[in-house]
Amino acid sequence: MIYQNRKLLLWQLAADGRSFCGIQFIARERDLQDASIDEQVQAFVDDMLSDGKVRPEYDAMADWEALEANHGDTADQYL
């Protein structure tokens, strides 16, 4: 699958592991703990794309340069 919104994907990758909005949280919510990582990530991205954008409050507080440095290579794989 190809993702169009790099900023949203970077934010999603950074959120992984946080109890309030990460991939692990969505996997637990949807009973996907034993699913492949691709399925877990896809479920997370689908959930996040339900509103299709990074919320303004997260946009304002995010360090986008740091997110790019930490997660840019992974984002490149999806974009």
Model pLDDT for residues 1-55, shown as the tens digit of each residue: 445 688 888 877 887 655 445 677 778 888 998 998 888 888 877 777 666 666 6
Sign of CA pseudo-dihedral 25, 29, 35, 39: negative
The Cβ of residue 8 has, within 10 Å, a number of other Cβ atoms equal to 20
Residue of higher predicted confidence among 71 and 58: 71
Delimit the domains of the chain by residue range.
8-78
| 22-35 as b/e: b if 16+ CB within 10 A | bbbbbbeeeebeee
Q: What is the pLDDT of residue 7?
A: 83
